[in-house]
Structure 1
Amino acid sequence: MRIILAPMEGLVDAPIRETLTKVGGIDRCVTEFIRVTHGMLPPRIFYKYAPELHNQARTEVGTPVAVQLLGSDPEMMGRHGAKAAELGATQVDINFGCPAKTVNKHKGGCVLMREPDLMYEITAAVRRAVPTDVLVTAKMRLGYDDRSMGVACAQALEAAGAGEIVIHARSKVDGYKPPAYWEEIARAREAVSCHVIANGEIWTVADYWRCREVSGCADVMIGRGLIARPDLARQIRASQRGESVPDMTWPEVVQLVRHYARALQTRLEDKYVTGRIKQWLNYLRQGYPEAEALWPSARKHREVAPMLACLDQIVAASAAA
């Protein structure tokens, strides 16, 4: 089994990949998507989204990182796949799953699931453009308007040469609303021979085992669940061995957030740093009551120092209780 950290636009950046892979249990990460349009992007853009390319496409602890591309022009997608490989990518992933309106409006992401033939052309172009030892993968949903396109699109990707397919268990219209339709992943998995990875609504160890049973996929990609519970991958691994490990404590999580903030400050202005910390804290509210208690005051801060001071106060209060 493998556990892959999902790409989450605007949150799962290089610093959070470094932070979470150090916790343990994550086998692979995928970058936020690099938007491919009509012009050739310079290397600095690839390095911005995937600074791990300077380290053989791995995080500091050695976790492989795939470079994800999003676009609808097969030729340009192929050229950018080739550039990613030239810069050191060992895996090029293609985004057919993003449900964002702005992305879909410009013919990127999940809207392409209305056109399996175009998905085939894009994937085949990338596969032809990159060396054979570079893995080409794709991430998709079950469809755009409904969940009827999972099988057809998965078959198109396999025919085009995708070595692995991640399937998010919802359509674009479903958004991120529960439930996840893991049984529809099973239908697509049974229709192809390439490797299929399940994604969607895995928040707990129990969710992992239910997803595995219903979808038939041992490998999973987890996004929001790993943001809410940074040790979830570690917990899943322990459960597979028939063991249990102590839950990560709130003070330990705060140390992760502080480490993340320090890393962000080397890359972004403070106002953007606090924005990303707030995003993470918002997800942590689902896993930690302390984060819920912190949220009303933390959300008001626009500078990093008072934000971190809030975190420290909560830790101090927990220790004194």
Structure 2
Amino acid sequence: MQLALAPMEGLVDDILRDVLTQVGGIDWCVTEFIRVNERVLTAAYYHKFGPELLVGAKTRAGVPLRVQLLGSDPVALADNAAFACTLGAPVIDLNFGCPAKTVNKSRGGAVLLKEPELLHRILREVRATVPAHIPVTAKMRLGFDTPDSAIECATALAEGGAEVLVVHARTKVDGYKPPAHWEWVAKVQDVVKVPVYANGDIWTVADWRRCREVSGAKDFMLGRGLVSKPDLARQIAAAEQGIELPDMTWAQLLPLIREFWRQARAQLTPRQAPGRLKQWLAMLTRTYPEATELFTLVRREQDCEAVERLLQPG
């Protein structure tokens, strides 16, 4: 079984990837999507989204990082993918799942699920351009407004050269509204010959068990569930071996929150850093009552020194 950390734009940056992969259970992670238009992007731009490329394309915990590209021009995507490989990308992933309106309006992400032929051309071009030993994978949703084209889109991606598919079991219009339709993952796996990861609405070990039963999937991608419960991947990995692990306590999590804050202060501007901390704390409130208390204290703070004092022990 493989467990992957999802590439969530504006949330799972290198700082959060570093902290979450320290907890354990994650087999690989992905950059936030890198938007490709007409030209080959600079090395500095790739390093902005994936600074791990400078240190062997792995987080400090040794978890491999894949590079995700988003766009609609087959040649531009292929050229950028090839360049990313020269920077050390071990896998190229293509985004056909982002539901954001601004992204879809510029012909990126889930809107391309309306054009299965274009999906096939993109994969074929990227696969032909990227060195043969470097895998090319794809992430998709079930469709734009209905799942009627899910099978056609998955087939187009797999036959175009995708070696793995990650299926977020909702349409673009569904957004993140429950439920995720895990049964469609099974339908996709029935028609493609490549591994299919199930993604969507896995918040607990119990959710993972239900997803595994309904989808028939062997591999899983965890997104908001893992951000909200940082030990979720570790617990699932243990459960797959028949071991039940206790929940990470707030006292165990707090040093990771402080480490996250330390890195945010070092890398972001004084105006940006508090917002990034509040964003993660808000998601942690789903699992930890203590996160609600801390979030209430820091939510109105804009001064980094004030936030720093609130995070200190005692």
TM-score, normalising length from structure 2?
0.97
Instruction: Map residues 89-238 of structure 1 onto 2, 5 A cutoff.
Output: 89-238=89-238
Q: CA deviation at 1:280?
A: 0.5
CA contact (8 A) 1:91 1:135 kept: yes
CA contact (8 A) 2:40 2:83 kept: no
Task: Specify the alignment match of 2:71 in structure 1.
Answer: 71
Q: CA RMSD in A?
A: 1.1
The AA in structure 2 aligned to 1:82 is A
> What is the CA–CA distance in structure 1 between the aligned matches of 2:110 and 2:97, rounded to whole Å?
4
Kindly state the Cα deviation for residue 252 of structure 1 after the two structures are TM-superposed: 2.0
What amino acid does structure 2 have at the position aligned with 1:122?
Answer: I
SS at match of 1:270: coil
Whole-Å separation in 2 of the counterparts to 1:8 and 1:186: 24
Alignment of 1:260-299 (within 5 A): 260-299=260-299
1:9 shift after superposition: 0.4
**Normalising by the residue count of structure 1, what TM-score does the alignment of the two structures yield?**
0.95
- Aligned-residue offset at 1:124: 1.2
CA–CA distance in structure 2, aligned partners of residues 267 and 194 of structure 1: 39
1:23 CA displacement: 0.7
Matched, 1:55 2:55: yes
Q: Classify 1:305/1:253 alpha carbon distance in 2 versus 1 (closer, same or farther; 3 Å).
A: farther
Q: Which residue is 1:28 aligned to?
A: 28
CA offsets 1:260-313 (integer angstroms, 9 cap, x no match)? 11112222102211111111011100010111223223211123332243344x
Is the 8 Å Cα contact of residues 202 and 225 (structure 2) preserved in structure 1?
yes
Task: Give CA-to-partner distance per residue, 1:226-266, whole Å, 9 cap, x none.
Answer: 11010111111111122122211112222111101111222
Return the offset for 1:140: 0.5
In structure 2, what residue type is equivalent to 1:89? A
Gapped regions of structure 2 (runs ≥ 5): none
Unpaired runs of 5+ residues, structure 1, are 317-321
Structure 2 counterpart of 1:56, one-letter code: G
Please give the alpha-carbon distance, in whole angstroms, between the structure 1 residues aligned to 2:85 and 2:266.
27
Pair 1:7 & 2:7 matched: yes
Deviations 1:80-138 (A, max 9, x none): 00001011111000000000000000000000000011111111111111111111000
The answer to whether the 8 Å contact 1:119/1:156 transfers is: yes
CA contact (8 A) 1:150 1:185 kept: no
Number of residues of Structure 1 aligned to a counterpart in Structure 2: 314
Tell me the amino acid that sits aligned with residue 63 of structure 1: V
How far the C-alpha of 1:34 sits from its partner, in A, is 0.5
Match of 1:247 in 2: 247
Provide the rounded CA distance (Å) in 2 between the counterparts of 1:213 and 1:40.
43
- Secondary structure class of the residue paired with 1:266: helix
Give 1:319's aligned residue: none
Shift of 1:72: 0.4
* Structure 1 Cα separation of the partners of residues 217 and 303 of structure 2: 43
Give deviations 1:145-171, integer Å, cap 9, x for gaps. 112221111000011000000000100
Do 1:90 and 1:133's aligned partners in 2 also have CA atoms closer than 8 Å? no
Tell me which amino acid in the other structure corresponds to 2:190: E
One-letter amino acid matched to 1:232: L
Say whether 1:42 aligns with 2:42: yes
SS at match of 1:209: helix
Matched letter for residue 38 of structure 1: E
CA distances 1:180-205 after superposition (whole Å, capped 9, x unpaired): 10001111111111110000000000
